[in-house]
Amino acid sequence: MKRIFVAIDIPDEVKEKVKHYQEGLKANFSHLRVGWGKNDKLHFTLKFIGELNEKTLDKLKFVSANLAKSYTRFKASAETVGVFPNKNRARILWLGINEGKDFFIKLKKELENKCENIGLRKDRKKYKLHLTIARLKEPKKSKLLVKNHLQNKIKPVEFSVSSIVIYESELRPTGSVYNIVSKSNFI
């Protein structure tokens, strides 16, 4: 059994801009315990699946490849900020999409339907497209960091979305490691 999720990768230049944004926050809030999202792990999750056997994983690879064939590359722009679950109890800082959001939502919906056809459960909660950039270890002490993040105006970071990636998330004592299981390029 493998721990699986389906995602959209972001280009290295976007990762660098996100890193720069994180470093600005880190410099001002270095006294707080924060798990800053690592650059090599930044992605937009389309669907977290969890434990999956090889047979169903093969079906998921087929579904993802066929879904990718029905899409062409599209432009997206990361420029919104937010927190989970809300600003009063924030535990996660994130960046979101403005341009291209409708394509992501359509892709997510089609992926959910195709996954249901191969026996995977549909997500019940509302999809919130985001890049996790930080996990707050001390939420009560991080109110000013949250306020600062939510007040920031992000210069739009444009990029091209060109593939769907299936990842295995391997849990280790030092944190999770993401390994690409398959990558399906858009036409």
Model confidence at 148: pLDDT above 90? yes
Encode pLDDT of 75-115 as tens digits: 999 999 999 999 999 999 999 999 999 999 999 999 999 99
Strand partners, 164: 184
CATH number of the structural domain spanning residue 30: 3.90.1140.10
Tell me the per-residue pLDDT of 16-50, one tens digit each, with 9 for 90 and over: 999 999 999 999 999 999 999 998 899 999 999 99
**3 close to 168: Cβ distance less than 8 angstroms:** yes
Cα–Cα distance measured from residue 111 to residue 105, given in angstroms and rounded to the nearest whole number: 10
Query: What is the arrangement of strands in the sheet containing 43-52, beginning at the earlier edge strand?
Result: 43-52, 2-9, 163-172, 175-185
- 159 within 8 A of 44, measured Cβ to Cβ: no
Q: Retrieve residue 89's tokens.
A: 């109890």
H helix runs in 6-142, sequence order: 12-28, 54-69, 101-117
125 pLDDT band, cuts 50/70/90, is: confident
| 14: containing domain | 2-185
A 10 A CB-CB count for 78 gives 28
User: Cα(84)–Cα(126) distance, rounded to whole angstroms?
Assistant: 13
pTM to 2 decimals? 0.93
Total domains in the fold of the chain: 1
Please determine, for residue 117, whether its predicted confidence score (pLDDT) is greater than 90.
yes
**pLDDT(175) > 90:** no
Closest CA to 147 of 28, 30, 39, 33: 28
